[in-house]
Amino acid sequence: MQIIKFLLVRTAIEVNARNVNGLTALDGGSSIKQQPNKHKHTDWLGRKRNALMVVASLIATVAFQAAISPPGGVWQNDFDGDSSQKSHEAGKSVMARNIPKAYRQFMIFDTIAFLASLSIILLQISGLPIKRRRWMWSQMVTMWIAITALTITYFLALIHMTPNNVLGTLYQVTKISVLGWLTMMAIVFIGNVIRMILWLLRNHGYIKKKEDPTNEEEDEDKDDLFE
């Protein structure tokens, strides 16, 4: 850009001459400067979209399979019931009849995981112009909800399929796993909160913005996350 400005000022060339695209020399230099960052921004969004689509498809598949094959399976025949056993119907969940409270919890979280993942898939194939990072951020939050719901579904199924003589070990494993999961989620959440606070301070003048012109476009792309 400095070379182009020097040539425009120090020579007798017609500086306002335009090419076939209607651009002057200075306009052309500006567009060349901006292209790398634009491509970088597009590549980042493309990679995120592909990753979200793959993970959302996997979660939707697992959640659907868990719904049609609940823990304990389904009854294979009809039974009218007697003095020692309740009645049941073929194709109905065994877990729903034996432990209905646990089954309701299982289906609630499984449904949340299924619908959250389907929402991401629908947005990706809808054709809407989702090209800014704030839209990608909302989809990532939805993905966190889907993954968390699927994790809870897994532990609910595991707890109610485990015999009583090994429940103590399972509870210990579950406790450690949940603590590790919550710690990781807290780190991700705090990191994004700090990033948002820095963005607010920078835009309100409390923190000096970077003056390096090569980083300005990149900073603007990052700021799109919170606009």
Tens of pLDDT along 11-30? Answer: 555 556 666 566 665 555 55
CB 117 within 8 A of CB 110: no
Residues 150, 181, single domain; the answer is no
User: Which of 27-36, 59-68, 166-175 is least confident?
Assistant: 27-36
108: nearest Cα among 70, 141, 54, 78? 70
Could you give phi then psi for residue 79, rounded to 5 degrees?
-145, 125
Check residue 113 and give its pLDDT.
Answer: 94
Tell me the pLDDT of the chain averaged across its residues.
Answer: 76
Structure tokens at 94: 């065994």
Which pLDDT does position 182 carry in this prediction? 86
Inter-CA distances, 155 with 69, 167, 201, 214, Å: 16, 12, 41, 49
- Residue with tokens 């009849």, as numbered in its chain: 97
- Is the domain of 32 the same as that of 131? yes
Give the residue from 140, 161, 182 where a domain finishes. 161
Domain span including residue 193: 165-227
Same domain as 33, residue 58: yes
pLDDT in tens, 63-76: 999 998 888 888 88
Q: Count other Cβ atoms within 10 Å, centred on residue 170.
A: 15
State pTM to two decimals: 0.64
Are 70 and 143 members of one domain? yes
Domain count, the chain: 2
End-of-domain residue from the set 144, 161, 178: 161
Q: Residue 167 region, left (φ>0) first, then alpha (ψ -120 to 50), else beta?
A: alpha
Same domain for 74 and 145? yes
**Is 201 a residue whose pLDDT tops 80?**
yes
